[in-house]
Structure 1
Amino acid sequence: MVDFPVNCSAKTERFLQSAVVATQSPFSYAGQVQDWGGERWAYTIGVKARGRLFEAFASQTLNKRRPFIFRDPTIANAAHSTVTVNGAGQSGNSLITAGWTVVGLVAGDFFSLGTGDETRLYQLTADVVPSSGAATLNFVPALRAAPEHGATVEIAAPAVRLRAVSPVITGVEFGLLRFTVEAVEAL
């Protein structure tokens, strides 16, 4: 799995897409919401590239065919101890963790779980207050699979596995080029 060349990233916009449909009656204006449960991260990554570095990345991803790992430079957190999953079979929007030796995180911070094809990004919805080295994380989106007991919780440089949704420029000419890459979480 290839990593996005972060030094080529000039600007990052992200949002959580939800599979929710809202309709309104044209007669009574009553609303109805259907939540299908699907959630994924969507990114617009501003790129500034000079030379062949980005071209090599784009050629490896073969545009929309192959996913890549993106470490969003706008969500790096302060260094922490090695935090791990505490207990197998967890699911939903909370995770019991262990290994906290410093102050926790705050709502809005990010973390990731997994490596390679299993890399997933999560955003905290509540402050994390460790107690005796343990803490429960509350977050979105929901866990896609139960992490293994002892799996590392990446806090310092969270990552997300993305796939481009539009063609990626592969020919970088002389001079500095600026363009955007549209991508969504590769599930």
Structure 2
Amino acid sequence: MSIIVELPRTWVAGLERRLVSATSQTQSPFTGTTEVQDWGGEWWEYDIEFAAQSGPLARSVSAALTALGSGRGLLLFADPSIEAKSRNQTITLDMPVSGGNVLQTTGWLPGLPALASGDFLSIGTGRQTRLHQVAFDATANMSGIALVTLFPALRQALPAGTALELNRPQVLLRPTAPVPTRIERVARHRFTLSAREAL
């Protein structure tokens, strides 16, 4: 059974995040038109560069990344490029969903903006944690309900009352390759991690 590692976001020096879609393209040799097949799968991929470390801290980072193995372990990652928020209200699903890109949510301040295009949220905990980005601005109605369009699409059914994490969204990642350690002069260690969302 794989373990879940959670690393401090302050260790991250830089990252690349991308949403990958399961699509294929075929171009006609006669007309030049392109046919796109969308298979519906979407997931996040990350390339993470950790700040240079030395001494005991470098050994701690090395141990944590070694524990991930080459896909055996899981990393619960709070992306430092996602602005942390401090919302006091609890936001939940107002209605059950069976998948898709639109959620009806409740708990917002009535009549006020709820989420802005580009905001992030996560749903679930532990091995069920999924990261989503908001596609369009959402405003709550006078009952505190807001329709939120997000991507990637939900992959599982969720009951009404499921909580949304807005203040510190996380993504569950699985390494796609062994984590290399580059050791420079004065025993400074540099680590890079390539990973994809663990589905």
TM-score, normalization: structure 1?
0.91
Extract unaligned runs of 5+ from structure 2.
none
Q: Could you tell me which residue of structure 2 aligns to residue 138 of structure 1?
A: 149
Q: Could you tell me which residue of structure 2 aligns to residue 111 of structure 1?
A: 121
Pick from 92, 98, 105: which aligns with 1:84? 92
| Alpha-carbon contact 2:77-2:173 (below 8 Å) kept | yes
Q: Which runs of structure 2 are paired with 1:14-163 in the superposition (5 Å)? A: 14-50=17-53, 51-80=58-87, 81-101=89-109, 103-131=113-141, 132-163=143-174
Q: Could you tell me which residue of structure 1 aligns to residue 13 of structure 2?
A: 10
Q: Which amino acid aligns with 1:24?
A: Q
Q: Which amino acid aligns with 2:196?
A: V
- 1:148 shift after superposition: 2.4
| Alpha-carbon contact 2:181-2:190 (below 8 Å) kept | no
CA shift digits 1:57-85 (9 cap, x unpaired): 11321232111111101113422221111
| Alpha-carbon contact 1:52-1:172 (below 8 Å) kept | no
> Which moved further from structure 2: 155-164 or 94-103?
94-103
Extract unaligned runs of 5+ from structure 1.
none
- 1:94 shift after superposition: 0.6
Q: Which amino acid aligns with 1:111?
A: L
CA shift digits 1:26-62 (9 cap, x unpaired): 2221211111111110111111142222122113212
| Alpha-carbon contact 1:58-1:169 (below 8 Å) kept | no
| Alpha-carbon contact 1:120-1:159 (below 8 Å) kept | yes
Q: Which amino acid aligns with 1:23?
A: T
Q: Percent identity?
A: 41
Query: What secondary structure does 2:81 align onto?
Result: helix
CA shift digits 1:65-124 (9 cap, x unpaired): 111111101113422221111122342101111111364221111101000110001111
Q: Could you tell me which residue of structure 2 aligns to residue 181 of structure 1?
A: 193
Larger Rg: 2
Q: Which amino acid aligns with 1:58?
A: L
Number of residue pairs matched? 187
- 1:171 shift after superposition: 8.6
- 1:23 shift after superposition: 1.6
- 1:172 and 1:84 mapped to 2: Cα distance? 46
- 2:114 and 2:34 mapped to 1: Cα distance? 40
| Alpha-carbon contact 1:71-1:158 (below 8 Å) kept | yes
| Alpha-carbon contact 1:18-1:38 (below 8 Å) kept | yes
- 2:126 and 2:181 mapped to 1: Cα distance? 23
TM-score, normalization: structure 2?
0.86
Residue 175 to residue 8, structure 1, CA distance change in 2 (3 Å): farther
